């Protein structure tokens, strides 16, 4: 058992779990169960990031998605739906067309991926978190500031929209 086979085992467990969780988000009849499946999905993605040596992104993923975004979803569900109803997450009339479109997209993507070969030999530097910080505040400072302003605008906008006048 070397490091590669551990990575392979972890990858397959996470991959199967993620596909099942994503399917559960789409297929479960109660919307709150879908939201909880989404939590599981986000958590497994964080595990995948750890496999990809992106520990910082993994931590951010858990903080933002599990800690904030899903809580927003759960709040929205509890504030709007009669969430105890057994059929709170129904499909609409165009589900057949949607299935055809997404299967077609999947086929196209897989066919493209099958033809493509990628160069190998990439390495993640040991001090990736430090380098990431230097990149964010160095060459990418302008997008970083724009993202900050976007978040501020989104926060103010969300408060203004959601507020009862």
- Residues 79 to 138 in contact with another protein, rule: CB under 8 A: 79-81, 83-84, 88-92, 94-95, 97-99, 101-103, 105-106, 109-110, 113, 118-125, 127-129, 131-132, 135-136
Residue written as token pair 């160095």: 138
> Should residue 54 be labelled a site residue for another protein when binding is judged by CB under 8 A?
yes
Residue 32: Cβ within 10 Å count: 17
CA separation for the pair 32, 13 (Å, rounded): 24
Residue 5: Cβ within 10 Å count: 9
Which one among 13, 141, 145, 157 touches another protein, defined by CB under 8 A?
Answer: 157
> Should residue 143 be labelled a site residue for another protein when binding is judged by CB under 8 A?
yes
Size of the site for another protein (CB under 8 A): 109
Among 113, 2, 8, 122, smallest CA distance to 54 is for: 122
Q: Is 82 helix (H, G, I), strand (E, B) or coil?
A: coil
> Should residue 73 be labelled a site residue for another protein when binding is judged by CB under 8 A?
yes
> Should residue 13 be labelled a site residue for another protein when binding is judged by CB under 8 A?
no
> Should residue 76 be labelled a site residue for another protein when binding is judged by CB under 8 A?
yes
């Amino acid at each position: 058992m070397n490091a590669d086979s551990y990575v392979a085992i972890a990858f397959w467990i996470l991959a199967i779990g993620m596909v099942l969780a994503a399917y559960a988000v789409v297929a479960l009849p109660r919307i709150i169960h879908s939201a909880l499946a989404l939590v599981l999905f986000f958590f497994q993605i964080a595990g995948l990031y750890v496999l990809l040596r992106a520990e910082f992104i993994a931590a951010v993923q858990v903080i933002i998605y599990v800690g904030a975004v899903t809580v927003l979803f759960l709040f929205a569900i509890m504030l709007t739906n009669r969430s105890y109803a057994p059929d709170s997450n129904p499909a609409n009339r165009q589900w057949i067309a949607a299935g055809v479109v997404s299967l077609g997209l999947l086929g196209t993507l897989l066919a493209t991926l099958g033809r493509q070969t990628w160069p190998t030999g990439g390495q993640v530097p040991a001090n990736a978190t430090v380098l990431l910080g230097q990149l964010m505040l160095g060459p990418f400072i302008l997008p970083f500031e724009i993202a900050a302003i976007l978040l501020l605008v989104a926060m103010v906008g969300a408060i203004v929209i959601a507020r009862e006048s």
